A and B are shown apart, each in its own frame.
Chain A
Amino acid sequence: DAGVIQSPRHEVTEMGQEVTLRCKPISGHNSLFWYRQTMMRGLELLIYFNNNVPIDDSGMPEDRFSAKMPNASFSTLKIQPSEPRDSAVYFCASSLAGTPGELFFGEGSRLTVL
C-alpha cells in the first residue's frame, strides 16, 4: 500500500519566491497534519485538518504561510514570499479516525531558501 506521498523531495529557491509543497495522504485517512522540522526548534505542528477542514492553524508562523485541503486526497502548503529562515524539512502526516496519535509520515520535503 502506498504511504503518504510528498513532493517535491527537495526544493532550492531564492528569497522572495513562492514555494508550494504537496501531500497525498493515505487513502481512507481523515486527518492530515503539516509539521516543520529544524535543528533549532525540532518538530513543530503547523496545521491540522480533519475531514478536509482546518481545525488548528495556531502553529502557522505568519501570513506568508497558507495551507489548503481541497479534497480528501490532496493538500498543499504554500509559502509566499519565502525567506531563508523558512529553510527546513516539511513533513505531511495522516491518520485514521479512531486512532488518535497514530500518525503516518511522508518522507518530507527539504526546503532551502537562499
Chain B
Amino acid sequence: GNSVTQMEGPVTLSEEAFLTINCTYTATGYPSLFWYVQYPGEGLQLLLKATKADDKGSNKGFEATYRKETTSFHLEKGSVQVSDSAVYFCALLSGGYNKLIFGAGTRLAVHP
C-alpha cells in the first residue's frame, strides 16, 4: 500500500543552520506530495506541495523537490530560525480522491 517514511527526530539545530528533513514514499503511480507543519498547540498547516516529478515546492524559505527516481521529497531550508521550531509532516495524496497519508512527523527544535 501507499506509505510515507520520514527521518526520526528530534532534529536539533542552532539558529541559521541548514535544515534537511528526509522523506521517502511508496506509492503506485505518481502521487502529489506535501509538507505540513504543526506548531505547538495548533493544527497542521500546509507548507508546500508538488504535483509531478521534478516539481519544486517552496514557501517561507522552505523547499522540496519531487524526485521520482529516488521516490523522495526532502524538505530543506538554508537558514533556520527559532520560530521554525515545530513538527513537520510529509504526506502523499492517495487514491482517486482527497485522502492524505501522513508520515510520522519530525520534530525540529532550533535554539538561539
Using a CB–CB cutoff of 8 Å, the interface residues on chain A facing chain B are 4, 31, 33, 42-43, 45, 48, 50, 55-56, 91, 93, 95, 100-108
Given contacts A42-B102, A42-B104, A101-B32, are A55 and B97 in contact (CB under 8 A)? yes
Identity of the chain A residue whose Cβ is nearest the Cβ of B46 in the assembled complex: A102
- Asked if residues A43 and B102 are in contact (CB atoms below 8 Å), the reply is yes
Bound CA–CA A54/B93 (angstroms):
18
Bound CA–CA A43/B97 (angstroms):
18
User: Nearest-CB distance from A40 to chain B (Å)?
Assistant: 10
- Asked if residues A95 and B44 are in contact (CB atoms below 8 Å), the reply is no
Bound CA–CA A100/B105 (angstroms):
21
Identity of the chain B residue whose Cβ is nearest the Cβ of A42 in the assembled complex: B104
Interface string of B71-102 (1 = CB under 8 A from A): 00000000000000000010101000111101
6 contacts between A and B (CB under 8 A): A48-B98, A50-B97, A93-B43, A100-B97, A101-B49, A101-B93
Bound CA–CA A95/B97 (angstroms):
12
Q: Is B41 among interface residues, defined by CB-CB distance under 8 A?
A: yes
Identity of the chain B residue whose Cβ is nearest the Cβ of A9 in the assembled complex: B41
Q: Is B45 among interface residues, defined by CB-CB distance under 8 A?
A: yes
Residue among A33, A102, A104, A106 with max Cβ neighbours from chain B (10 Å): A102
List of B residues within 8 angstroms of A101 by Cβ? 32, 34, 49, 91, 93, 98, 100
- Asked if residues B98 and A100 are in contact (CB atoms below 8 Å), the reply is yes
List of B residues within 8 angstroms of A56 by Cβ? 97, 99
- Asked if residues B43 and A105 are in contact (CB atoms below 8 Å), the reply is yes
Contact of B89 among A31, A43, A45 (CB under 8 A): A43
List of A residues within 8 angstroms of B93 by Cβ? 100-101
